[in-house]
């Protein structure tokens, strides 16, 4: 009788130990799952950030290529027309007022005396940019078959026969002369092309792209410097 009780007690102890081990294994497995999920979330976040960076760099590279091609076409136009460039819709348009951001320090910029605070001028600027780009494309395509071929060779994502846009969808503007809100052209030519950049704001100059600049090692340089 005593022996039977002893065996029963041993079975109870063994059973309890087995259940405890099973619970421990279950808890450890849950911890592993949570750790794995956390690692996946971190990796996914890094991949999204990397993809965004690659996309922005690709957009900038494409826009810089378009700006260079347009600059080449305009140089050929000027060479064939005794240095003259086409007359296009003025940019910035009459009635536009420069915000303070237009006067932030930037290579080639001119200091201003009293910048004004204004509301949202993007509709006004966009209308002028659209007209400016159409005028420029029309003039370049009509000037020579070579320019027409170069223009037609631009990616369809940025060129729709009558208009050239940057990689972010904004019309690329031709500046026939320097402007204190926009910037100064290189010394060897009075004109340049302008992209509004990722923020699509032509007057926020911190991310604008210019045909006379290029990005080298993450730093903006004037071409030839």
Residue listed under structure tokens 């309890």: 16
Residues of the chain with pLDDT under 70: 1-28, 99-119, 183-188, 214-225
Query: pLDDT digits over 31-46, tens only?
Result: 778 888 888 888 887 8
Query: pLDDT digits over 11-25, tens only?
Result: 545 555 555 454 555
pTM exceeding the 0.75 threshold for the entire prediction = no
The residues facing 174 across adjacent strands are 193
Q: What is the pLDDT of residue 114?
A: 41
Q: Give the integer Cα–Cα distance in Å for 83 and 104.
A: 32
**Where are the domains positioned within the chain?**
56-112+119-222
The secondary structure element, H or E, covering residue 220 is strand 219-222
Q: Give the integer Cα–Cα distance in Å for 177 and 191.
A: 5
Tokens standing for 60?
């900038």
């Amino acid at each position: 009788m005593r022996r039977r009780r002893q065996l029963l007690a041993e079975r109870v102890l063994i059973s309890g130990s087995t259940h405890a081990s099973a619970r421990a294994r279950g808890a450890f497995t849950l911890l592993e799952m949570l750790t794995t999920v956390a690692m996946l979330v971190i990796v996914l976040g890094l991949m999204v950030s990397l993809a965004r960076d690659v996309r922005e760099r690709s957009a900038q590279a494409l826009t810089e290529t378009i700006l260079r091609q347009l600059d080449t076409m305009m140089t050929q136009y000027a060479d064939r027309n005794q240095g003259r460039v086409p007359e296009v819709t003025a940019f910035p348009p009459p009635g536009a007022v420069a915000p303070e951001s237009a006067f932030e320090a930037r290579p080639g910029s001119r200091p201003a005396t009293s910048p004004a605070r204004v509301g949202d001028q993007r509709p006004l600027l966009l209308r002028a940019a659209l007209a400016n780009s159409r005028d420029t494309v029309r003039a370049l395509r009509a000037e020579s078959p070579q320019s027409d071929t170069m223009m037609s060779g631009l990616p369809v994502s940025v060129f729709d026969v009558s208009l050239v846009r940057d990689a972010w969808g904004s019309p690329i503007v031709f500046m026939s002369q320097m402007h204190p809100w926009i910037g100064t052209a290189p010394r060897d030519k009075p004109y340049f092309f302008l992209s509004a950049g990722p923020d699509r704001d032509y007057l926020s100059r911190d991310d604008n792209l210019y045909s006379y600049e290029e990005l080298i090692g993450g730093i903006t340089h004037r071409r030839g410097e």
